[in-house]
């Protein structure tokens, strides 16, 4: 930890020094510039096209490596005056650093040549868990794994490196982070969330935005972040991506709005809009959400960009507009600034028509153009554009990889450890590794890895280790064996796997889920696939110790196999360094410290969250035993043990101007060093809106040597016990509260 902090401090000093060396941003009078622009130039600024539109080859069949077509590029700039480009091209994969520089330099050069006002074009990319579309970049755990670290400082560093390596590619705009709350486990993008809890997700949001946006103006190491996806995208009733959500205004504000509020407070420059609908209204047409709430109430002043082709989908998917022209009008008047068109210029042409007809007021257009130009000023794009490798000596470095390793290591969550079977002794054990995730980097990384769905092995980062490769390095060759047994959805050689298992002392079964996201990731059943269940059941007949390692996009139901396992290590999607981290955890080189950022369901459709209402505890026999998840939110074991001792409060009465300090002594009662997440919850005994059985209100991650103790303190104010009431106002009602740490509780009266 000390070495990591020293590295991060030196990195911060380097970044600030280099940023200062860049010089001040070029002064641009945005209002004057807008006054010089034609209708066509304004409409172009509001248009974002995919790289495939200007590259050699078909839109979804590009030349490899991606190469620009100068005639196509000239048309996009000279005729349509485009304001933005995104992506690597439909169906294409990772781009080499030098090729990124070549592509972007050509865009800059052609823009100078063919643009009357030389307004820079801003490039955007989905750098979801690192600069995943640049060869050699550092890849981190996906967001759900980041949340499992319960370590905001570490998460901020992950995003700081993501920004650094994205800017090293020449790209100043990152479509990240996902701020949708993960309260629908069936949803294909669950792994892109920071989990189910508002407070934990807010804490991680704060870190992510700070890491991406940096803390110095016009820094060549910061990117414009993009809050995704405003609002309510993650709670489709069916669990299928981009299908209707039914969320009351109160619940929108209570659960789904706070992460976006936090991001805006931290300076997030852009927002991407929910592709779906809420209560029957597509969000891309919802003035109440995009203008009244986002702009007027929250004070967001940045750029609102659509998701992929979502303006057109108002016609052909949502059926709220008869024509694309009407769809363009509806979206712009609702509050959209830029359309991710992305494969043609029809949006631009229709927008020009609407402006010239007066159907969309020029004042509304100027509003959006001003926001877009301000973004470009803020990112230093009006300055002379350079792609200088010397500014980024740490790109893809071992130092960055070590931070990624720490992220993976701290995310690993030990869910079961019967008779302390873990850690294993590499010198004494004979081990079989099997299962679909044992020898696959793709299953460790998930979607948004080199390609959109993350399943193309051709782009995998050279030199990164799978689980079985990392384990093999720590064992004698004769003591370790690998037999796949099955893929995620088909049997390969379970019989051979069982035969191999007869010769070893321990069996590691690496369960996984095929990488997927968005619509291709839709599933009908959260159950672990039948071939993987068959593999575990066949091996269990040998009555040998079985350790499950789970690499899932979302919590797959393991109720049928969990009792057959002696240990369960939940790895989420830990990234390129996940293989090393998992092997080190299995062999005890690291002590697992991750905690679940979601409630792990025991049964298909049993989606009850930890912060549920008391009525959800009522069982069929009217007892209070209905809430029985596989594992609870915030749960995670360690190779050591922790004892929570004295729990104190500075006062038992809290008023408007008061604060209460809560302290608890924590002791490592085991024989090895470990990290513990101290979690503070509260329960509102009586409220005008039915209160949750408990809600997270504070947490802190600490490291303790064997037999060492530390007193952890939290300071709370009356506002920390607030909620959204029936009138849609955030209030704290007077009354009695219980404060909960582990199995200890104290009463607090709020007045």
3-state SS, residue 217: coil
Q: What pLDDT score does 25 carry?
A: 55
Q: What is the pLDDT of residues 204-257, one digit of tens each?
A: 999 999 999 998 778 999 999 999 999 999 999 999 999 999 999 999 999 999
Alpha-carbon gap, residue 154 to 8, rounded angstroms: 10
Alpha-carbon gap, residue 295 to 300, rounded angstroms: 5
Alpha-carbon gap, residue 103 to 39, rounded angstroms: 28
622: Cβ contacts below 8 Å, ≥ 6 apart? none
Domains in the chain, start-ordered, CATH in brackets? 2-22+45-74+86-122+131-366+376-391 (3.20.20.300), 413-591 (3.40.50.1700), 640-750 (2.60.40.10)
Q: What pLDDT score does 27 carry?
A: 84
Bridge partners of 517?
Answer: none
22: pLDDT confidence band, cut at 50, 70 and 90? very low
560: Cβ contacts below 8 Å, ≥ 6 apart? 528, 533, 537
Bridge partners of 61?
Answer: 58
Greater model confidence, 58 or 195: 195
Element (H, E) at 431: strand 431-434
Query: Strands, DSSP E only, in 131-249?
Result: 173-174, 226-230
* Residues in the chain, overall count: 751
Q: At what angle do helices 398-411 and 578-586 cross, to 10 degrees?
A: 50
The two tokens of residue 659 are 């604060």
710: Cβ contacts below 8 Å, ≥ 6 apart? 665, 666, 702, 704
Cα–Cα separations (whole angstroms), residue 685 to 521, 622, 654, 723, 749? 40, 20, 15, 13, 10
15: pLDDT confidence band, cut at 50, 70 and 90? very low
Instruction: Answer yes or no: are the C-beta atoms of 237 and 188 closer than 8 Å.
Output: no
387: pLDDT confidence band, cut at 50, 70 and 90? confident
Q: What is the pLDDT of residues 682-734, one digit of tens each?
A: 999 999 999 999 999 999 999 999 999 999 999 999 999 999 999 999 999 99
Q: What pLDDT score does 13 carry?
A: 38
Bridge partners of 130?
Answer: 139
Instruction: Answer yes or no: are the C-beta atoms of 335 and 304 closer than 8 Å.
Output: yes
198-208 residues labelled b (16+ CB within 10 A) or e (exposed): bbbbbbbbbbb
The answer on pLDDT for 24 being more than 60 is no
Alpha-carbon gap, residue 152 to 574, rounded angstroms: 17
Alpha-carbon gap, residue 172 to 220, rounded angstroms: 8
- pLDDT mean over 267-285: 98
The two tokens of residue 69 are 């077509």
Greater model confidence, 1 or 137: 137
Dmax over Cα atoms in the chain, in whole Å? Answer: 80
Q: What is the pLDDT of residues 563-609, one digit of tens each?
A: 999 999 999 999 999 999 999 999 999 999 999 999 999 999 899 99
Alpha-carbon gap, residue 563 to 566, rounded angstroms: 8
- What pTM does this model have? 0.96
The answer on pLDDT for 18 being more than 70 is no
Q: What pLDDT score does 217 carry?
A: 73
Query: Strands, DSSP E only, in 530-658?
Result: 546-551, 567-570, 642-649, 653-654
Q: How many CB atoms lie within 10 A of CB 604?
A: 15
Nearest to 197 by CA among 742, 715, 699: 699
89-120 residues labelled b (16+ CB within 10 A) or e (exposed): bbebbbbebebbbbbbeebbebbeebbeeebb
- Catalytically active residues, by annotation: 307
The answer on pLDDT for 525 being more than 80 is yes
């Amino acid at each position: 930890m000390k070495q990591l902090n020293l590295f991060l401090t030196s990195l911060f000093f380097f970044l600030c020094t280099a940023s200062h060396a860049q010089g001040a941003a070029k002064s641009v009078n945005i209002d004057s510039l807008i006054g010089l622009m034609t209708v066509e130039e304004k409409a172009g600024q509001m248009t974002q096209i995919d790289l495939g539109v200007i590259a050699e080859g078909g839109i979804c069949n590009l030349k490899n490596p991606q190469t620009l077509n100068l005639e196509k590029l000239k048309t996009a700039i000279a005729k349509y005056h485009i304001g933005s480009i995104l992506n690597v091209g439909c169906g294409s994969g990772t781009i080499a650093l030098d090729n990124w520089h070549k592509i972007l330099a050509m865009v800059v050069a052609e823009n100078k040549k063919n643009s009357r006002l030389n307004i820079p074009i801003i490039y955007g990319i989905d750098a979801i868990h690192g600069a995943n579309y640049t060869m050699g970049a550092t890849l981190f755990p996906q967001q759900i794994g980041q949340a499992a670290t319960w370590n905001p400082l570490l998460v901020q560093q992950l995003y700081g490196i993501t920004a650094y390596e994205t800017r090293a590619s020449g790209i100043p705009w990152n479509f990240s982070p996902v701020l949708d709350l993960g309260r629908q486990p069936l949803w294909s993008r669950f792994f892109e969330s920071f989990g189910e809890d508002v407070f934990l997700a807010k804490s991680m949001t704060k870190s992510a935005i700070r890491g991406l946006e940096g803390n110095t103006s016009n820094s060549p190491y910061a990117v414009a972040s993009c809050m995704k996806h405003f609002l309510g995208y993650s709670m489709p009733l069916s669990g299928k991506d981009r299908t209707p959500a039914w969320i009351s205004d109160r619940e929108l504000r209570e659960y789904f709005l706070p992460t976006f509020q936090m991001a805006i407070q931290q300076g997030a420059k852009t927002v991407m809009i929910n592709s779906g609908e809420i209560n029957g209204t597509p969000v891309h047409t919802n003035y109440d959400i995009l203008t009244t709430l986002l702009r007027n109430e929250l004070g967001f002043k940045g750029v609102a960009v659509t998701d992929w082709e979502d303006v057109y989908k108002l016609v052909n998917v949502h059926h709220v507009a008869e024509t694309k022209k009407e769809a363009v009008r509806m979206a712009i008047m609702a509050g959209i600034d830029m359309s991710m068109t992305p494969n043609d210029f029809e949006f631009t042409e229709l927008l020009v028509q609407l402006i010239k007809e007066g159907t969309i007021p020029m004042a509304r257009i100027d509003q959006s153009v001003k926001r877009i130009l301000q973004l470009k000023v803020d990112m230093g794009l009006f300055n002379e554009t350079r792609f200088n490798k010397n500014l980024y000596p740490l790109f893809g470095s071992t130092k960055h990889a070590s931070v990624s390793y720490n992220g993976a290591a701290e995310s690993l969550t030990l869910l079961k450890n019967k008779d302390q079977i873990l850690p294993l002794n590499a010198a004494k054990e004979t081990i079989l590794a099997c299962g679909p995730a044992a020898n696959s980097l793709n299953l460790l990384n998930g979607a948004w890895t080199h390609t959109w769905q993350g399943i193309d092995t051709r782009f995998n980062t050279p030199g990164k280790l799978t689980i079985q490769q990392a384990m093999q390095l720590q064992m004698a060759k004769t003591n370790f064996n690998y037999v796949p047994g099955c893929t995620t959805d088909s049997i390969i050689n379970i019989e051979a796997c069982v035969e191999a298992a007869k010769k070893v002392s321990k069996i590691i079964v690496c369960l996984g889920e095929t990488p997927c996201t968005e619509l291709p990731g839709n599933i009908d059943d959260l159950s672990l696939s039948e071939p993987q269940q068959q593999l575990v059941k066949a091996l269990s007949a040998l009555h040998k110790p079985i350790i499950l390692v789970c690499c899932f996009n979302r919590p797959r139901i393991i109720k049928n196999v969990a009792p057959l396992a002696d240990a369960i290590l939940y790895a989420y999607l830990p990234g390129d360094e996940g293989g090393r981290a998992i092997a080190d955890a299995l062999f005890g080189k690291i002590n697992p410290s991750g905690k679940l950022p979601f409630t792990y369901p025991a049964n298909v459709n049993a989606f009850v969250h930890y912060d549920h209402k008391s009525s959800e505890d009522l069982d069929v026999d009217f007892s209070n035993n209905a809430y029985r998840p596989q594992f609870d939110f915030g749960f995670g074991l360690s190779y050591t043990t922790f004892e929570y001792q004295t729990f104190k409060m500075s006062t038992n009465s809290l008023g408007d101007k008061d604060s209460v300090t809560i302290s608890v002594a924590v002791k490592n009662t085991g024989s090895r060093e470990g990290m513990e997440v101290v979690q503070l919850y509260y329960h509102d005994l009586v409220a005008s809106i039915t209160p949750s059985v408990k809600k997270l209100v504070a947490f802190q991650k600490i490291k303790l040597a064997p037999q060492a103790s530390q007193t952890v303190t939290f300071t709370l104010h009356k506002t920390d016990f607030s909620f959204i009431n029936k009138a849609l106002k955030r209030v704290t009602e007077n009354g009695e509260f219980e404060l909960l740490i582990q199995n200890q509780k104290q009463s607090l009266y709020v007045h």
